[in-house]
Amino acid sequence: MILALLDPTPGPLTATAMIASVVLCSTAGEVLTAAAMKSIGDLDDIRAHSGLKGAIRAVVTCPRFFAGVGFLALAFFSLLFALNHLNLSLVAPASASLTLVTNAIAGKIFLKENVDRRRWTAAVLVCIGVYLLAH
């Protein structure tokens, strides 16, 4: 229904909104999943202490983990929706490379990670590299 209402050839603004929704959902998912895993603690230690079942129980009883997985699923469906309207050669490199930069910003703001010059350089190099590889 929604697909039928949309213009078959989306303009630059609609295309930007589609790619932005993929990037934002993906970033939210990654940050929530990372926050969940940090709150749980080192899985290797948990597995050594209470076995594989204990490690799985620790992950599946964390509500933040499911929020993260929900956003990652939303990002996947947004990607499918964007691919339904835009070219793969635009959506794949743009979303994959932009996600790296937004994750570096979100990691610094929300997870209080120490994103120093080394990590910024790595994020930008990998961002350009993924763009070139996927284009």
* Position 126 contacts another protein (CB under 8 A): yes
| 6 or 17: CB nearest another protein | 6
Q: Sketch the per residue contact string, 88 through 107, with another protein: x for CB under 8 A, - otherwise.
A: ------------x--xx--x
| 14 or 113: CB nearest another protein | 113
Rounded Cα gap, residues 97 and 95, in angstroms: 6
Number of residues that bind another protein (CB under 8 A): 39
- Amino acid present at 104: A
Residue 35 Cα distances to 26, 62, 110, 113, 125, angstroms: 14, 10, 9, 11, 25
| 78 or 97: CB nearest another protein | 97
Which stretch, 2-10, 15-23, 31-39, 81-89, contacts another protein (CB under 8 A)? 31-39
Among the residues of the chain, which ranges form H helices? 2-5, 12-40, 43-60, 63-85, 88-110, 117-134
Q: What tokens were used for 27?
A: 């970033």
Local structure of 10: helix, strand or coil:
coil
* Position 20 contacts another protein (CB under 8 A): no
Which residues here bind another protein, judged by CB under 8 A?
30-31, 33-34, 37-38, 40-44, 59, 100, 103-104, 107-108, 111-116, 118-119, 121-126, 128-135
